[in-house]
Chains A and B, each alone.
Chain A
Amino acid sequence: MKTNSILEKVLANGNLAVTSECGPPRGAVPEKVKEKGQLLAGFVDAVNVTDNQTAMVRMSSLGASILLRQMGLNPLLQMVTRDRNRLAMQSEILSAYAHGIDTMLCLSGDHPHFGDHPMAASVHDIDSIQLIQMVKTMRDEGRFQGGAEIENPPKMFIGAAANPFADPFELRVMRLAKKVAAGVDFIQTQCIYNIEKFETWMEGVRNRGLHEKCYILAGVTPMKSAGMARYMKNKVPGMDVPDAVVARMAAKPKEEQAQEGVDICIETIQRLSQVKGVAGFHIMAIEWEKIVPQIVERAGLLPRPQVA
């Protein structure tokens, strides 16, 4: 075992892991973080805490992660390279580890163009792959990126994202190979609606043996309405929602669409459970955390293993 991460233990035991996410509030409102945490407690192995997602200012991932940790949950610290240079990132990793946070996700982050501060300068001192390398060096060599020794090095279980649906598609497996070579331990994918395309990607992943070098958690997001399905299809960069999925949502009367979205999500999980190399699921119920227990239960993923 490389770390004390519960997520690592669940995966190493061969269980299908379950993670979900908590978007911190747009204000100094700890109650909101705790409320979301309460909804997820007992149903997931780790809770992703997003880092100024969609480039909108929120409570920091570290701050909200500490609140969840104090509740006894296992926060998964997301970190984007957009907002901090390597000094700030490394110091934040030390802070996180000092608060018992031992699992993180290395990301480049949404461009400020999409957020509410499009006038901000992006940092991008390093990119997501270089961030993986840096966290691994801190853990395995006990050194900062600059070379100096760390007292009590942070032992982070290192995650990253993968989008099997973005262009150029033929490069997507190689991009994962690069993250594996950089030292990633687990991957959470973009939301999967186009299952065939995901399976094609997974075939490429298996051909390179990458599924044996990192754990791949398939990303799913229940849709609340046909409108949301259309929005994700047309407006969200790198998202692949097939027409058939939109049509299936739209075929239901408005008041039944949310339930249809949940059904699609559960069917997706059940089908992907059969795909060789899928090690678990990342359920991103955006501002809909209360639906997660139902999804986890109906997908047959309860009870969560006790590995501590």
Chain B
Amino acid sequence: MDYIQPFNRILLVGCNECVTVCSAGGRKEVGLLSSALQSAFLSAGKSIDIKEHTLERQCDPEYVEELVGMMDGVDAVVSMACGCGVQEVARRYKNKPVFPAVNTKFMGASERQGVWAERCQGCGNCLLGITGGICPIARCSKQLMNGPCGGSTNGKCEISKEVDCAWQLIWDRLKMLGQEERYLDIIPAKDWRTAGGGGPRKIVREDLAG
């Protein structure tokens, strides 16, 4: 609310992809946030005009182009997409302030209804083939690549009973696969260039990029 306090006409933009699946920024959440903001501003003695729109994909220029006709009538944009969507809107509409409405946290999977947990850090040099399909980079609190620390207790991480010990999971899985000896292979120090250590990352598919 602090972000948009100075503005009267807002365009609230959702995205139909990941944030919809995660119930964070799809059409439904756009509607909910819009009415919540209007009533909050109303009770603070201010009326605010909020236009709602949800794009098929907010990280793709061709969909973001759809917003062109709506831009003249608004003072600022609030995006409910992930950080990629927010930045794509900001890149296309350089003269409009754009604010994020969600805090993008991680790439994860749904553990059960309403619960999502981190699975991948996008480090660009995948270890899953040798760690039983469980990622120690994303799922070990110390990012240990060669086994559990001394704090693993009853399958749980020392930082919380709510967090599984990734190395317990890896070990259980290696046993199920009959690959216990694989644990003895030392995973060497990682080259973090593919994980962002080499600067912002880009993928170019020559066949598609032309």
In the complex with contacts A166-B152, A181-B186, A175-B147 CB distance below 8 A: yes
B148 close to A (CB within 8 Å) = yes
Establish whether residues B150 and A127, one from each chain, have CB atoms under 8 Å apart when the complex forms: no
A153–B9 Cα distance when bound, in Å, is 66
Interface size of B by CB at 8 A reads 32
Residues of A within 8 A of B158 (CB): 111, 113-114, 237-238
- Chain B CB within 8 A of A228 CB: no
Closest residue of B by beta carbon distance from A145 = B189
Contact between A122 and B151 (Cβ–Cβ < 8 Å)? no
Contact with A along B145-176 (1 / 0, CB 8 A): 11111111111001110000101100110000
Centre residue among A171, A182, A190 by max chain B CB count within 10 A: A171
**Residue B143 lies at the interface, judged by CB distance under 8 Å to chain A:** yes
**B198 interfacial contact with A, CB 8 Å:** no
A86 to B190, CA, bound (A): 11
* CB <8 Å contact, A168 and B184: no
| Chain A positions 175 through 205: 1 when the CB is less than 8 Å from some CB of chain B, otherwise 0 | 1011001100000001000000000000000
The answer to whether A238 and B151 touch across the interface, beta carbons within 8 angstroms, is: yes
Tell me how far the C-beta of B101 lies from the nearest C-beta in chain A, rounded to whole angstroms: 24
Quick check: A178 and B142 within 8 Å, CB to CB?
Answer: no
Q: For A127, give its contact among B141, B145, B168, B184 (CB under 8 Å).
A: B145
Report B-chain residues with C-beta under 8 Å of the C-beta of A130: 145-146, 186-189
- A108 near B155 with CB under 8 A, answer no
Q: In the complex, what distance in Å separates the CA atom of A145 from the CA atom of B192?
A: 14
Do A129 and B151 touch across chains, with their CB atoms under 8 A apart?
A: no
Residues on the A chain within 8 Å of B145, using CB = 127, 129-130
Scan residues 113-127 of chain A and give those whose CB is less than 8 A from a CB of chain B. 113-114, 122, 124-127
CA gap between A103 and B154 in the complex, in Å: 34
- Chain A, 149-184, CB within 8 A of any chain B CB: 161-163, 165-168, 171, 174-175, 177-178, 181-182
* A171 adjacent to B148 (CB under 8 Å): yes
The majority secondary structure among interface residues of chain B is loop
Q: Does B144 sit within 8 A of A, measured CB to CB? A: yes
Say whether, besides A124-B144, A127-B142, A238-B158, A108 and B149 are in contact (CB < 8 Å): yes
Is B183 part of the contact surface with A, judged by Cβ < 8 Å? yes
Residues of B contacting A181 in the complex (Cβ-Cβ under 8 angstroms)? 184, 186
Provided the pairs A82-B142, A163-B150 are in contact, do residues A171 and B186 lie with their beta carbons within 8 angstroms?
no
B147 touches A129 (CB 8 A): yes
A111 to B146, CA, bound (A): 17
State whether A178 touches B147 (Cβ < 8 A): yes
Q: Could you tell me if A129 and B186 are in contact, using CB atoms closer than 8 angstroms?
A: yes
- Determine the residue in chain B with the shortest Cβ distance to A86: B189
| Nearest chain B CB to A145 CB, angstrom units | 6
Complex interface: chain A residues within 8 A of B180 (CB): 174
> Is A133 in the interface zone, CB < 8 Å from B?
yes
Which residue of A has the minimal Cβ distance to B147? Answer: A175
A68 within 8 Å of B (CB atoms): no
- Min CB distance B52 to A, Å, is 36
* Residues from chain A with Cβ under 8 Å of B186 in the complex: 129-130, 133, 178, 181-182
Known pairs A130-B186, A133-B186, A162-B150 / 18 extra A-B pairs, C-beta < 8 Å: A111-B159, A113-B160, A122-B142, A124-B143, A126-B189, A126-B190, A128-B146, A130-B145, A165-B150, A166-B151, A166-B153, A167-B153, A167-B154, A167-B168, A168-B148, A168-B172, A174-B147, A178-B147
Could you tell me which B residues sit within 8 Å of A by CB distance? Answer: 141-155, 158-160, 165, 167-168, 171-172, 180, 183-184, 186-190, 192
